[in-house]
Chain A
Amino acid sequence: MRDSKLLKIALLIGLVIGIQALTTVTGTQYYLTQLTMSAYYALLVIGLAVVMGYAGQISLGHAGFFAIGGYLSAALTTHNLVALQANPVIHGLGNLGMLVSGQDIYGEPLLVVAPWAACIIAVCMAAIIALAIGIPVLKLKGHYLAMATLGFSIIIYRIGLATEYFGEADGISEVPGFTLLPAIGSFGPISVSGDFGLRVENYYVAWGLLIIGLWLLLNLIDSRVGRALRAIHGSEEAAEAVGINTAGFKLKVFVLSAVYAAFAGVFLTHYNGGIGPSEASVMKSVRYVALVAVGGMANVWGTLVMGVGLSFLSLRGVFGTYDDAVFGAILIVVMLFAPNGILSMNVKALFAGRRTTDEHR
């Protein structure tokens, strides 16, 4: 089981390198931009897959966590703090090396939070908010999480639209690149940014992050924690009876998925150089749920394939103005005909008039 996991990951790495090579040979490197963005969206949906498939909870708030990551990181790294320099908090951040100074395009002094510090702050904020939502809600049985996260998602969307700090309807643009590794000799620096010259490098950063995220999740599923999560999904009463803190595990996995979403938000925002309120919209959350459903719920690999594939098609504009409608329709079709995901769909049974059922999960 473990060998096949490593083999699959090795194949994926090979595929990632192969596709990059192919685009270079064929001169279609513009595909890499959408593949990079798709990888970040896929990072979010594999995290959500564990919440939905293993902890059995639906979150309609993952666009919100994505937006918290993206917006906070964008705002912190773009808003000038020069006027607040005397503020002890800002001064303290400066002493910790968490601020960078420079000049804006008009030559005025500029002082902003360093991207790495902004990333940590943004991800921690998403985790704290996930805790605050999850602690009261996950003690209850049933789909209260879907309700609570739906409300949360709408609030985040509205805050983005209505707050000057977050750019209102325009969002935040001119977000600087995020230097992951400084230059070492002739190698590097490695930086997350939409700069054309860094397209190949950013493709590998995104897929590297996705593969690390995938590997961590697959390990988790195979572990004691993964077994506990599957047990909770199977029978909460029996899970409690063997000493599994069901509410605690559901909370932790929800927070973990929020962290995945926030990381995706931070990285994609620095890559795109900006973020707008549409990233926080409820339709985005529904889209993520649809991607997990079509991938097969408790199937991280299936979710990864579907997450990358459909996000790529959507970003290429294949669905045109029907973009959101396509994901809504996918959700309906999956629920009706392939509750275990498209990839595990029993085509023969479908044509014989029978449906695959939950029993095969």
Chain B
Amino acid sequence: MLELRSVHKNFGGLQAVHDVSFSVAPGSIKAVIGPNGAGKTTLFNLISGNLNVSSGSILFQGREIQGLKPHTIAALGMARTFQNINLFHGMTALESVMVGRHVRSRAGFLAGMLRTPATRKEEREIREKSMELLRLLEIEEFADVEATSLAFGQQRAVEMARALATEPKLLLLDEPAAGLNIYETAEVGRLITRIRDMGITVLLVEHDMSLVMDISDEIVVLSFGCKIAEDVPAAIQQNPEVIKIYLGEDEEVMV
């Protein structure tokens, strides 16, 4: 599904990402973990096209996507959420999700201005599909509420519904549990598993270890921009390198 080959990213003299390679198998949940400043979000921004790599290549479904614009990559079937929630001001929850249908609908300027029958039909489909997603995320009661005025957890849900509305093959989640309590986090975990079961591959960055260990099929560990481990959760928990960066040396506590 996704393959990173020796990806480097330098900001001036700073090596934010250094020689990172890994791949994400179709239908799996893969997590990227690491201490603050390890380069996780930078890595995400490289994959989604918000940043360009300094060297290396990124393949999505076998196609080189490095250098493409974010909107082109999104149209190829990659959606994302943001660490700091990024909703559209002044739009209701439903409208926000309807925007997500953009790449799966066609009406352009002329069709929109003339309100052709085909456009009206498409609009109805967009609305229905978006409502379905609000129901899936259990926020349909907030459909007509301005999205930015919702509670934090609900805003995250709107963002996720918007990403799902693009019908992605790969979903990038940047800290989906940040700012959520343990019940909401468990809820998000179940949701991500359900998304995977719908056939969508998931790549997430997350700090919450219990969530990551629970749902991930595989985990990549980054530290100071370098990949230091890649394995199944059980093995990552035993990995001395990982324990060292998270807990310091000579500790016998498990992550």
- Name A's B-contacting residues (CB within 8 A): 216-217, 219-220, 222-228, 230-231, 233-235, 237-246, 252, 256, 359, 361
Please state if B102 and A240 are interface contacts (CB–CB under 8 Å): no
Report the minimum CB–CB distance from B108 to chain A (whole Å): 7
A to B contact number (C-beta, < 8 Å): 114
Report the minimum CB–CB distance from A127 to chain B (whole Å): 12
The A-contacting residues of B in range 74-110, CB under 8 angstroms, are: 74-75, 79-80, 82, 86-91, 95, 98-103, 105-109
A/B interface sample: 17 pairs, CB < 8 A: A219-B113, A223-B107, A223-B113, A225-B109, A227-B102, A230-B88, A230-B91, A233-B89, A238-B82, A239-B71, A241-B48, A241-B70, A241-B79, A242-B79, A243-B103, A245-B69, A246-B71
Please state if B107 and A242 are interface contacts (CB–CB under 8 Å): no
Compute how far the CA of A243 lies from the CA of B71 in the bound complex, rounded to whole angstroms. Answer: 4
The A-contacting residues of B in range 114-134, CB under 8 angstroms, are: 114-115, 119, 122-123, 126
- Name B's A-contacting residues (CB within 8 A): 48, 50, 69-72, 74-75, 79-80, 82, 86-91, 95, 98-103, 105-109, 111-115, 119, 122-123, 126, 162-163, 165-166
**Given A224-B107, A231-B99, A241:B80 Cβ within 8 A:** yes
Compute how far the CA of A227 lies from the CA of B94 in the bound complex, rounded to whole angstroms. Answer: 11
Please state if A235 and B86 are interface contacts (CB–CB under 8 Å): yes
Please state if B86 and A227 are interface contacts (CB–CB under 8 Å): no
**Chain A: CB-nearest residue to B119:** A223
Known: A216-B114, A234-B90. 16 other contacts (CB 8 A): A219-B113, A219-B114, A220-B112, A223-B115, A223-B123, A224-B101, A224-B106, A228-B99, A237-B50, A241-B70, A241-B74, A242-B102, A243-B71, A243-B102, A245-B69, A256-B109
Please state if B166 and A242 are interface contacts (CB–CB under 8 Å): yes
Please state if B91 and A243 are interface contacts (CB–CB under 8 Å): no
Please state if A234 and B91 are interface contacts (CB–CB under 8 Å): yes
Please state if B48 and A252 are interface contacts (CB–CB under 8 Å): no
Compute how far the CA of A222 lies from the CA of B69 in the bound complex, rounded to whole angstroms. Answer: 27
Compute how far the CA of A227 lies from the CA of B162 in the bound complex, rounded to whole angstroms. Answer: 13
| Residues of A close to B82: CB separation below 8 A | 237-238, 241
Please state if A238 and B71 are interface contacts (CB–CB under 8 Å): no
| Residues of B close to A225: CB separation below 8 A | 107-109, 112
Report the minimum CB–CB distance from A303 to chain B (whole Å): 17
Compute how far the CA of A297 lies from the CA of B88 in the bound complex, rounded to whole angstroms. Answer: 17
The residue from A219, A235, A245, A361 contacting B87, defined by CB atoms under 8 A apart: A235
**Chain A: CB-nearest residue to B85:** A238
Compute how far the CA of A239 lies from the CA of B79 in the bound complex, rounded to whole angstroms. Answer: 11
Please state if A243 and B107 are interface contacts (CB–CB under 8 Å): no
**Chain B: CB-nearest residue to A249:** B109
Report the minimum CB–CB distance from A261 to chain B (whole Å): 16
Compute how far the CA of A359 lies from the CA of B75 in the bound complex, rounded to whole angstroms. Answer: 31
The residue from A237, A244, A256 contacting B99, defined by CB atoms under 8 A apart: A244
Closest 4 CB pairs of A and B: A234-B88, A223-B112, A243-B103, A243-B74
